[in-house]
Amino acid sequence: MKILVINGPNLQLLGRREPEIYGKLTLEDLEDQLKQVATALSVELEFFQSNHEGDIVDLIGNAPQNGFSGIIINPAAYTHTSVAILDALKGAGLPAVEVHLSNVKSREDFRHHSFTAAACVGVIAGLGFDGYEWALRSLVKILNKND
């Protein structure tokens, strides 16, 4: 089982950008933590981070042909603006879980709406790095049920 983990704009700044919201750990720390969980679950992960919407759309659109079974995505700011990522997720037809480090419902009003959530089997927000772990565990359970 191969799962694509996508992180959107500015997540390369983890550890430096607003640590009071996002914490002091880096994107590399997050990937290392998820790799440990993936090993325990016997799944393969591929990580991708981009600040460019089109690159994310292309990757999602090609995910089925590239052998991915599911997607974990933190669209970051694109959550609230991107119909293109929504359409790519729908078009790919793979189960996806949306994840956010912060509790977007406790932040600015514009962060309360997610376009991309409509194409996801679930959304996890506000649990920091642990949210990615729960997204991975949930997605693996979903994929195992579909086998």
Give the active site residues: 22, 100
142 Cβ contact list (under 8 Å, min separation 6): 70, 95, 121
Nearest to 41 by CA among 139, 147, 145: 139
With 0-12 CB in 10 A as exposed, 13-18 as middle and 19+ as buried, what is 116? buried
